Chain A
């Protein structure tokens, strides 16, 4: 398997290949157990937490790029367009939309989007990651 490209080497505008995931009952149950979320299943048993869905877009990114040592997740935006349901298939996409350097850090803005089987938006968001520029840091 070829080595993954380092995230800090990818240009602005880079689009990661869409990745498809099933929101299977097993995966949702494992997620809820891992984060100890008893609230979502009691409110809406068929619903998948929006942060779980967004985590799949982060996963799509991490499956296609290596995160350099010392990288930090600085901020995260999330917009829920509709409730995701157990059992549905979704496609996660990620695009590098900004790159800039500040105080020894490379700041990457990454748009994340998760769509349903019909292409409709389910969850979207934007992550800001900080990568030490040239091995440096603040």
Chain B
């Protein structure tokens, strides 16, 4: 429980180090082999200046953090609306924080090691149908 003026205490927190190997493994299993993610020479010529992690990889971390916070109901009837604000790059360490917003709603933030906001999401886990 946090006091007045203090940031809310996360219901769940997850930290993941991102390297090129993690991105390559995700590309392989997801079938998303966009060279922006897996070809450093190609990616160096783009506006990003290097490879970046798939947005869906970051969402996988968000989903796991929501499963930590909400348990099985997240896996059965969760909803989420996420916005990608900045890319994660090899060498980054990302921290996923889930905080409660009432009984059934959750706020999620993904930040990198510099505190830069990478992803924001609102999630909801409706009560089980009667």
Contacts and interface: CB of A to CB of B under 8 A. Distances in A.
Interface residues of B, number: 38
A17 interface: no
Contact of A55 (B56, B71, B83): B56
Contacts, number: 114
Contact of A35 (B61, B74, B84): B61
B25 A33 contact: yes
Interface stretch (A8-16, A69-77, A95-103): A69-77
Nearest to A30: B29
B77 A81 contact: yes
A134 to B, nearest CB: 15
A50 B74 CA distance: 9
Nearest to B82: A76
Interface in A23-72: 27, 30-31, 33-37, 39-40, 43-44, 47, 49-52, 54-55, 58-59, 62-63, 67, 69-72
22 contacts: A31-B30, A34-B28, A34-B29, A35-B61, A36-B16, A37-B63, A44-B75, A50-B63, A51-B59, A58-B30, A59-B31, A59-B32, A70-B47, A72-B84, A73-B84, A76-B81, A76-B84, A77-B82, A78-B59, A78-B81, A80-B74, A83-B72
Interface of B: 16, 22, 25-26, 28-32, 34, 36, 46-47, 54-57, 59-64, 67-68, 71-72, 74-84
